[in-house]
Amino acid sequence: MVQSREENGRLIISLSGEIDSSNAQEVETRIYEIRQQYPDDSIELDCDRLEYASSAGLRVLLRLIQQTDEVILTNVHSEMYEILDVTGFTEMTEVRRAYRVISVEGCELIGMGANGMVYRIDPDTIVKVYRNPDALPEIHRERELARLAFIAGVPTAIPYDVVRIAGGGYGTVFEKLTARSFAKLLAYDDKPLDEVVQMSIDLLKLIHSKVIRSDTLPDMKAVALDWADFLKDYLPAELHEKLHALIAAVPADEHLMHGDYHVKNIMYQNNEILLIDMDTLCHGHPVFELASIYNAYVGFGLIDPDCTMKFLGLSAETCYTFWRRSLELYLGTQDAAVIDSVEEKAMIIGLARIMRHQIRRDGMNREDGRKMIETCRSILAQLLPRTDSLVF
């Protein structure tokens, strides 16, 4: 009925069966015997096998919560959760619901980002699997971001369930989607490139037209300044000072941005466009969004043209064409000089981000990493001296 184990400063106590007046005192005594062995640990009550708790059982839990600095209840099944919610436990401490378990083994990988991978688990359903094995705070944050975007009028695929992944970790299940990504539309020639670019930019402009004032959204200017600060020891002083000054001079902007906008994060279903992977939602000047888009289509493939095929399922040539035509439509011009100028502004931010990314992931000790770092440094050395502003 009461079992325990200790993991990294957390005492995990597993409860099973029913706790009522006939055994509540016995359960409480056993919990306190276990607790005395690990007096400094936080406590997790694993309720996966707890079927029922009467008022006597609830009083055991209440006393434990009142006498312990940190107690969380995990794997709480629906009926038990309702009891805890009605009796106020969810206001006193963290109570985590039990989640159904699914497997993604053998499923089609349809998207990949910095924080997770998106799989199709059946013809109607997709699931985002998070890289962080303890991703519940990330999941709840992404659900809140998706809600904000949906209310603002951005066509968003709504996550409706949280699941545990067989083998470890958590995932978010999205509404029934028979959609195909824009990457698939291009790869299988379902729609011409120009039409897909137009749909992509129409949606991007819609996103950028929204102003959402929320502390939940990161400010990309502040994030980019952190990137520049990180590179202080890896760029010549004059280049670092110029990079930092250019980013600092970008005006504050509360317009919405996706933050990881590319053809694998845009879905097409029944003539409807849906945006997925909302954990990167942020706000700022559009140059920061264009920098992210440049990296997805061009930057990450600078030294390995096959990178875009691995990441997006599209050739480097197709991706570069998509990027340039996206700039034409976004800027509303075919003037090569204007397009080149904005491209260079996006490249400065994008390559600074890639350079930092490589250094932080031990790129200095890998041949491909060193090559990418030096490529970014060399291009930045060309662009920064001749750039007076990142604003367009």
- What gap in Å lies between CA 111 and CA 366, rounded to an integer? 26
Q: Between residues 282 and 40, which one has the greater pLDDT?
A: 282
Q: Between residues 113 and 329, which one has the greater pLDDT?
A: 329
How does pLDDT run across 125-163, given as a tens digit for each residue? 889 899 988 888 888 888 888 888 999 999 988 777 888
Return the pLDDT at 175.
Answer: 66
DSSP 177: -
- What gap in Å lies between CA 390 and CA 81, rounded to an integer? 51
Q: Is the pLDDT of residue 37 over 70?
A: yes
Closest CA to 13 of 133, 26, 25, 33: 33
Q: Between residues 196 and 141, which one has the greater pLDDT?
A: 196
Residue pair 326/293 in contact (Cβ under 8 Å)? The answer is yes
What domains are defined for the chain? 2-97 (3.30.750.24), 102-174 (3.30.200.20), 180-386 (3.90.1200)
Is pTM beyond 0.85? Reply is no
Which positions ≥6 away from 327 have C-beta within 8 Å?
Answer: 290, 339, 342, 343
- What gap in Å lies between CA 275 and CA 128, rounded to an integer? 13
Residue pair 176/130 in contact (Cβ under 8 Å)? The answer is no
> What value does the mean pLDDT of the chain take?
92
How does pLDDT run across 365-374, given as a tens digit for each residue? 999 999 999 9
- Which has the minimum average pLDDT: 151-155, 176-180, 191-195, 311-315? 176-180
* Amino acid in position 60: V
3-state secondary structure of 387: coil
Q: Per-residue confidence at 110, pLDDT binned at 50, 70, 90?
A: confident
Return the pLDDT at 287.
Answer: 98
CA angle, residues 46, 77, 16, in degrees to nearest 5: 45
Residue pair 352/375 in contact (Cβ under 8 Å)? The answer is no
